[in-house]
Structure 1
Amino acid sequence: MAKTAVIEAHGGPEQFQIVDRVVGDPGPGEIRIAHKAIGLNFIDVYQRTGLYPMELPHALGMEAAGVIEAIGEGVTHLVVGDRAAYAATPPGAYCEARVMPAAQVVKLPDEVPFDVAAAMMLKGLTTEYLFHRTTPLSAGDTVLFQAAAGGVGLIACQWAKSEGITLIGTAGGPEKCQLALDHGAAHCIDYKAEDFVPIVCGLTHGAGVDVVMDAVGKDTFDGSLDCLKPLGMFISFGNASGPVPPLNIGTLGQKGSLKITRPTLFTHISDPDILRAMADRLFAKVISGDVTLRIDQRFKLDDIADAHRALEARQTTGSTVIEL
């Protein structure tokens, strides 16, 4: 039996129930993992509220780290006793142990602690595809990153600096702006006090940025487009303020032949070989010290509803982990 946080209906954090579930043995292509730490992400909120509908009842949670307890037939890249980590579908990480597909689980280097791995897999792999797999980026380019003090944002600030990319961030309040600056952002704009569009225009001497990376959604969409240089790329990878409203595609031509994409991590990691290459790059960044994970909030599994309340209220910085 394994303690598990499940929901039986979409809604607020009060929907969580803590239950004991039978774990069972892995079938072909599966593993059983005993979790040591679990990550918390905004996609968990989207699934809980029903923005991303799912069949219920269901456990939530998309990333965790732990130890492999058993492997099914055909699994060759992991063995019993391996330290392992994942960002994976289907959801179900909010538990003490689970059986799951092995393809999206990777071996965890000894140099990376369990809590760090749980805090970084989804956010770190997201950063990897933003900088390496969505549109060409190289040293000297400029990126506008919305919500630079969040979990992905603080990794992105460091990632950009390590590769010679200028990152202009936005964040809510002077403390969060300073946090982004401390992690490598070249500039950070307090969106609660200032209009970020003219400031970005000034910082880029009127040219605009090469790429916008935006997980905020509705509240920043129009302004983000106005910050792009002609032929620039807008990457929408989240909806923290709500979904982006319908777009007249002609607007992109009027604003300078802009490009727009809405990628997901799980498209990229559906190929196990690509996933392992992405994970290797992420682990190398962490082991080298180019990227350090800031874990500012820790909760117990019994308190998962409180963790969701804090995340939705934007009371968190850096990463949040659920400890077991």
Structure 2
Amino acid sequence: MSQVVKAIRIEQNGGPEVLKLVDVEVSAPADNEVTIQQHAAGLNFIDIYFREGLYKQPLPHGLGAEGAGVVTAVGKLAKKRFKVGDRVAYGQSPLGGYAQARNVPAAQVVHLPKGISFEEAAAIMLKGLTVQYLFRQTYRLQGGETILFHAAAGGVGLIACQWAKALGVKLIGTVSSPEKAVIAKANGAWQVIDYSKENVVERVMELTKGKKVPVVYDGVGKDTWLASLDCLQPRGLMVSYGNASGPVDGVNLGILATKGSLYVTRPTLGTHVNTAEKMQAAADELFDLVLKKKIKVRIDQRYPLAQAADAQIALAARKTTGATVFTLD
């Protein structure tokens, strides 16, 4: 049975003004899908990449790949895992999360424990699963390491600070202001570098007594690429997982040799949680830390769908801290 709901759509790539709140029809779920009546949806930098066209998608299309709510219909192949009334969340889906209700492939949906609210889930699924694959799969932290993590006061960064502390890892975080430095430290960062007035490479050298770090996690991209490489130990790993300042391009691989036989990877969440089992296992590890209060979900901005443009403007201007969610109730 279909229903008509409010959702954000774009008909062309461009600035925030292309975001339109429209009525869309949600059809009955396909065999491998569930219909979710959403209570909250997440905002992430990747949404801006799709809006601008940095990441291409056939137009017109929706935005958002993170949300949480209640299952209202189940496709016949999804009935082994889900039933109507289940509390669920997702952080990796086809575009369309900015909506009151939607269909999502069941393999990308996870069961949500009762102790975690819909808003919390919408705030942490993509960001938390990102930290899970970065810390537990891309470069598996064992405890005792000293690492560098850029944008430590952002949505991903605050989860990373807490997760690192829970693992016994010393996280050096970069931030853009004294206020953000305080927030990162309060969330578990070992040390914080304010790059607006400190030299990141020099401070990393000081903090590590010249040893540098075995891994750098960099979601900023273009602006931090070279500094990140200079913070790595010989044979260290550069994990470039985002492009907040623009994509890294024109890279001469020889630079990896001259800076110490470095490794570099450009991973994505999708390839790390590409089955229902891997997705649920990654989410369960995240949820366990939240339920144990080792990760506290910080939601500093809430917007209705009608203000999606304002939300993206604030995120792009780096005026946000923690997570931003759209409230859909």
TM-score range for the pair, normalised by the shorter chain length: over 0.9
Paired residue for 2:57? Answer: 54
Distance of 1:321 and 1:5 partners within structure 2: 14
**Is the aligned partner of 1:71 residue 2:74?**
yes
Runs of 4+ in 1 over 6 A off after TM superposition: none
Q: CA deviation at 1:32?
A: 0.4
Q: 2:273 aligns with which of 261, 265, 269?
A: 269
Distance of 2:126 and 2:259 partners within structure 1: 32
**Is the aligned partner of 1:170 residue 2:174?**
yes
1:209-234 alpha-carbon deviations (Å, 9 max, x no partner)? 11100000011000000000111111
Distance of 1:235 and 1:16 partners within structure 2: 32
Q: CA deviation at 1:208?
A: 0.4
Report how many aligned residue pairs link the two structures: 324
**Is the aligned partner of 1:218 residue 2:222?**
yes
Distance of 2:135 and 2:118 partners within structure 1: 25
Paired residue for 1:305? Answer: 309
**Is the aligned partner of 1:41 residue 2:44?**
yes
**Is the aligned partner of 1:240 residue 2:238?**
no
SS at 1:48's partner residue? helix
Q: CA deviation at 1:200?
A: 0.3
Alignment-mate amino acid for residue 220 of structure 1: T
Alignment-mate amino acid for residue 8 of structure 2: A
Paired residue for 1:144? Answer: 148
Paired residue for 2:105? Answer: 101
1:12-54 alpha-carbon deviations (Å, 9 max, x no partner)? 0000111111111011111100000000000000000000011
Paired residue for 1:256? Answer: 260
Distance of 2:171 and 2:103 partners within structure 1: 40
Contact conserved, 2:92 with 2:108, CA < 8 A, in 1? yes
Q: 1:29 aligns with which of 15, 20, 32?
A: 32
Q: 2:185 aligns with which of 175, 181, 188?
A: 181
Alignment-mate amino acid for residue 25 of structure 2: V
Contact conserved, 2:220 with 2:246, CA < 8 A, in 1? yes
SS at 1:95's partner residue? coil
Q: CA deviation at 1:318?
A: 0.3
Q: CA deviation at 1:172?
A: 0.4
Paired residue for 2:21? Answer: 18
SS at 2:206's partner residue? helix
Q: Percent identity?
A: 53
Distance of 1:89 and 1:268 partners within structure 2: 14
**Is the aligned partner of 1:227 residue 2:236?**
no
Distance of 2:217 and 2:45 partners within structure 1: 16
1:254-275 alpha-carbon deviations (Å, 9 max, x no partner)? 1111110000011112111111
Distance of 1:143 and 1:104 partners within structure 2: 30
SS at 1:129's partner residue? helix
Alignment-mate amino acid for residue 167 of structure 1: L
Alignment-mate amino acid for residue 251 of structure 1: I
Contact conserved, 2:163 with 2:294, CA < 8 A, in 1? yes
Contact conserved, 2:134 with 2:140, CA < 8 A, in 1? no
Q: 1:116 aligns with which of 120, 126, 131?
A: 120
Paired residue for 1:154? Answer: 158
- Give the aligned CA root-mean-square deviation in angstroms: 0.7
Distance of 2:190 and 2:250 partners within structure 1: 32
SS at 1:74's partner residue? helix
Q: CA deviation at 1:88?
A: 2.0
Q: 1:84 aligns with which of 76, 83, 88?
A: 88
Alignment-mate amino acid for residue 89 of structure 2: A
Contact conserved, 2:217 with 2:239, CA < 8 A, in 1? yes
Q: CA deviation at 1:314?
A: 0.6
Q: CA deviation at 1:89?
A: 2.4
Distance of 2:150 and 2:62 partners within structure 1: 29
Q: CA deviation at 1:322?
A: 0.3
Alignment-mate amino acid for residue 104 of structure 1: Q
SS at 1:34's partner residue? strand
Distance of 2:146 and 2:238 partners within structure 1: 13
